[in-house]
Amino acid sequence: MKGTVYKSTGSWYLVKTEDGKAYNCRIKGKFRIQGIKSTNPVSVGDIVHFDIDDKADEVTGVIKEIEERDNYIIRKSVNLSKQTHIIAANIDVAFLIVTLNNPPTFTTFIDRFLVTAEAYGIKAVLLFNKIDSYTEEEKDEIRYLAAMYREIGYTCLGISAKTGKNIDQLKEMMLGKTCLFSGHSGVGKTTLINKIEPTLDLKTAQISSQHMQGQHTTTFAEMFDLTMGAKIIDTPGIKGFGVVEIEKDELGDYFPEFFALKQFCKFNNCMHIEEPKCAIKEALEQEELFWSRYKSYLQILEGEDEHYRTDIYPKK
């Protein structure tokens, strides 16, 4: 049997076959993908082959093989710093939901997400949510951020899950695609998904005013089929995004605006830090590049991500 993983709860995986039948499956014995030190060998979005086990009261499946992934999005696992967590696989578009406050989404977090998407060949789109709740001054800040990321080449869309602003435009971007939705807890991800597909009726949580962070409502990534002909992968709210599996000398390649200039650096192995005649540093001095992006680059390079990984997937 062949199917797609729609939900993972750690030890069991909900697998749906092409004819729409769903099976609870598990992994038999040691099942590790070569080269990936991951806390979850099978992830939502994976295409798997499984055998039916009908000896028990309930018909279940045993996963025996994972097809090669087109791509996946990955980050450092929280408690096991050497291990990684695959958030989802075989994604067409990764949407990052950004809020200016309640809770704040900082550019360092956005950039880590974008770098990971670039590294794994996934198209990323920034959704600036809750635009109905901002003051004029805050809207200017959003406009500045959107203009910056658009200039770099990313699609940005201002939306309101509450009022429905630009939701039709978002749906057009999603048509026929497998879409990952990610962001901090409390950015309105679940409300947005319910707006796109009201029949899902997913649970939402209130924001904790003490820390201006959302309470986790999604504890495991899960994929849903939408009536409009798209798939949506809902992920747990992420507090931190530790970048993994990217070599230091390759990091600049995943900042598209740095990559475009690196051929003009004096040294072909330029790290854009202390080297003379560095095209990236010269462009920064001329204000042709954004300093916030360079700051993110340096932070990732120096491995300053401990405080980004305080905790993401809530414990069962």
191 labelled ligand-binding: yes
270 among annotated binding-site residues: yes
Per this entry, what is the length of the chain? 316
Is residue 183 a known part of a binding site?
yes
Rounded to a whole number of angstroms, the distance between the first and last alpha carbons of the chain is 30
Known binding residue 242? Answer is no
Residue 155 marked ligand-binding: no
Binding site annotation covers 25? no
305: left (phi over 0), alpha (psi -120 to 50) or beta: alpha
Q: How many CB atoms lie within 10 A of CB 2?
A: 12
Q: Is 184 annotated as a binding residue?
A: yes
155 DSSP β-pair partners: 125
93: helix, strand or coil: strand
Q: How far is residue 295 from each of residues 108, 127, 249, 266, 290, measured CA to CA in Å? A: 8, 22, 16, 22, 9
In which residue are the tokens 């797609």 written? 4
Beta bridge partners of residue 276, listed in sequence order: none
* 29 annotated binding-site participant: no
DSSP state, residue 155? E
Q: Is 85 labelled as part of a ligand binding site?
A: no
Q: Is 131 annotated as a binding residue?
A: yes
Alpha helices in the chain (DSSP H): 107-119, 136-152, 167-174, 189-196, 256-259, 279-285, 291-301
Q: Which of 276, 275, 283 is nearest to 258 (CA)?
A: 283
CA nearest 120: which of 154, 77, 69? Answer: 69
Is 130 annotated among the ligand-binding residues?
A: yes
Cβ neighbourhood burial of 211 (10 Å; 0-12, 13-18, 19+): exposed
Pairwise CA distance, residues 126 & 184, whole Å:
13
Binding residues for Zn(2+): 265, 270, 272, 278
Binding residues for GTP: 129-132, 183-191
Binding residues: 129-132, 183-191, 265, 270, 272, 278
